[in-house]
C-alpha cells in the first residue's frame, strides 16, 4: 500500500509539472486545448503529439503527414512501379493517432460512420 501511495504521489507531481509547462507556453496551451476537444483524443495522446511532433501548427498539413509517416509515397524504380506505400516517419506519433482513432470510432457516431464507409 505504501508503494501504491508513493506512485500516486509521483504521478500527481508529474501531472502538475506537465500542466505547468503547458500553461507557461501559450501556443502549447492553445494546441493542447484544441486537441483534447476532438473526440477520441485523450490527454495522454495530446501530450504525446505535442512532445513528438513539435512542428504542429508551423508546417503544412502535407508536411506534418509526411513527418508522421502517414503520407503515401510512390514506390517506383526505373520501369518497375508498385503501389504507393505508407511507411517511415515517427512511430510514436502514428501510435498516438491510432489510439485516438480507435477511441473516436467507438465513442463518436460521426467517426464511426466514416470508418464503416471506408
User: Which pLDDT value is given to residue 112?
Assistant: 95
Q: How far is CA 39 from CA 19, 21, 31, 55, 97, in A?
A: 21, 24, 15, 22, 12
User: Which pLDDT value is given to residue 106?
Assistant: 94
Say what the alpha-carbon torsion angle 16, 18, 22, 25 is, to the nearest 10 degrees.
110
Question: Averaged over 74-102, what is the pLDDT?
Answer: 80
DSSP annotation of 89 reads: S
Question: Averaged over 95-102, what is the pLDDT?
Answer: 93
Helix or strand or coil: residue 99?
helix
CA geometry: angle 22, 92, 81, nearest 5 deg: 135
Whether 37 shows a pLDDT value over 90: the answer reads yes
Q: Model's pTM, two decimal places?
A: 0.76
The fraction of the chain above a pLDDT of 70, given in percent, is 90
The fraction of the chain above a pLDDT of 90, given in percent, is 68
How confident is the prediction for the chain on average, in pLDDT?
89
2's enclosing H/E stretch is: helix 2-24
**Structure confidence at residue 71 as a pLDDT band (50, 70, 90):** confident
Amino acid at each position: 500500500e505504501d508503494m501504491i501511495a508513493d506512485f500516486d504521489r509521483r504521478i500527481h507531481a508529474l501531472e502538475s509539472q506537465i500542466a505547468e509547462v503547458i500553461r507557461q507556453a501559450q501556443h502549447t496551451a492553445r494546441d493542447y486545448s484544441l486537441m483534447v476537444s476532438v473526440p477520441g483524443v485523450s490527454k495522454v495522446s495530446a501530450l504525446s503529439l505535442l512532445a513528438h511532433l513539435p512542428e504542429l501548427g508551423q508546417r503544412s498539413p502535407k508536411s506534418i503527414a509526411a513527418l508522421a509517416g502517414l503520407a503515401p509515397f510512390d514506390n517506383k524504380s526505373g520501369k518497375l512501379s508498385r503501389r504507393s506505400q505508407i511507411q517511415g516517419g515517427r512511430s510514436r506519433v502514428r501510435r498516438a493517432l491510432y489510439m485516438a482513432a480507435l477511441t473516436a470510432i467507438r465513442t463518436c457516431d460521426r467517426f464511426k460512420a466514416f470508418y464503416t464507409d471506408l
